[in-house]
Amino acid sequence: MAINLRVIRALGMRSIRQTFRRPQLIAPIVVFPTLLLAIQTGGAGAAVNLPGFPPVQSFLQFMLAGAMMQSLMLAGNSGGIALAVDIEMGFTDRLFTAPISRFTIVLGRLAGTAALGLFSSLWFLAIGLIFGAEIQSGVPGALIAIFLVTSAALAVGGIGAAIALRTGSASVVQGLFPLVLVVLFLSSAFFPENLMIQPAQTIAEYNPLSLIVNGIRSPMISGISASETLYAVLTITGIIVLGLGLSARALRHRLRAG
C-alpha cells in the first residue's frame, strides 16, 4: 500500500512536470479559457441587464465558474492525451512490468489532472479578484469552489483516461476536444439555463455538467447553497465512479489483449 502511494505520487509529479514544462500543453488549459473569458465578458457582458438574469455583481463574477469548468475539462482531455501518448510510446509497458498495482498508473495520471484542476481554480479566483469580482461567500465559498473544481477535474480525467486506455491513440483523444467544447456550450457554463434558446436550454437543464457548474458558481455569486453543493458533489461522484470503472475495465482489457 505504501509503495502504491509513493508510485501514485511519483507518477502524479511526473504528469504535473510534463504539463508545466511544455507551454503548448498549458496553453489550452489556461490561456485559451482566459482569453475566451475576457472576450465573452466584454462581448456579452450586457446580459446582466436581461430580465431573469440571476443577481450578480458583474458578468465576470458569473462567468468565472464557466471558465474553471472549461479549464478542468481541457485538463481532463489533456491528461487523456498524455496517457495515450505514454501508451503509444510504450512507457506504460515499462510501468506494467514493475512490481506495482497496475491501477496506480491511472491514479498517478489522475493525481496530475487533479493538480491541474486545483491550479486552474486558483488561477481564475485570482483573476476574479484582480478584476474586481468578489466571492460572495468569502473564504469558505472559495474553498468549496476549489474543492469542486479539483474533484471535477479528477472525474473528467477518469473519463479521459478510460478513453485513452481503450483506444491507445492520442489522436482519437485529441479529436474529442471539439466535443468537449460542444458539451460545455450546452450547459450553464456560459449563460443561465433559463435564458438560453431552445433546444439548447432543455439540453442544458439535463446536462450533468450544469449541476457541477452551478455548484461551483453559487458560492461566488450568492451564499453557499447546500442543495446546489450537494447536487454537484453527487454528480462529480457519479462521474468519478463511472470514470474509474471504465478505466479499470479498459485497463484489464488492455493487459489481457497485450
Contact predicate 240/159, CB 8 Å: no
Cα Rg, the chain, nearest whole Å: 18
Binding-residue total with other proteins (CB under 8 A): 33
**Selected range binding other proteins among 26-34, 81-89, 107-115, 222-230, rule: CB under 8 A:** 26-34
Nearer to other proteins, 104 or 207 (CB): 207
Print the binding letters for residues 32-61 with other proteins: x by CB under 8 A, - otherwise: x--x--xxxxxxxxxx-xxx-------x--
* Least gap, CB of 26 to other proteins (angstroms): 11
Tell me the window of 4-12, 188-196, 219-227, 247-255 that interacts with other proteins (CB under 8 A): 188-196
For residue 151, give the H/E element and its range.
Answer: helix 138-167
Q: Residue 132: left (phi > 0), alpha (psi -120 to 50), or beta?
A: left
CB of 36 to other proteins, least distance (A): 8
CB of 62 to other proteins, least distance (A): 12
- SS3 for 102? coil
Q: What span, in angstroms and rounded, lies between the C-alpha atoms of 111 and 108?
A: 5
Instruction: Give the integer Cα–Cα distance in Å for 182 and 257.
Output: 33
* Cβ 154 to other proteins shortest distance, Å: 26
Q: Are 109 and 10 in contact (CB under 8 A)?
A: no
Give residues in contact with other proteins (CB under 8 A).
Answer: 24, 27-28, 31-32, 35, 38-47, 49-51, 59, 178, 181-182, 185-186, 190-191, 195-197, 199-201
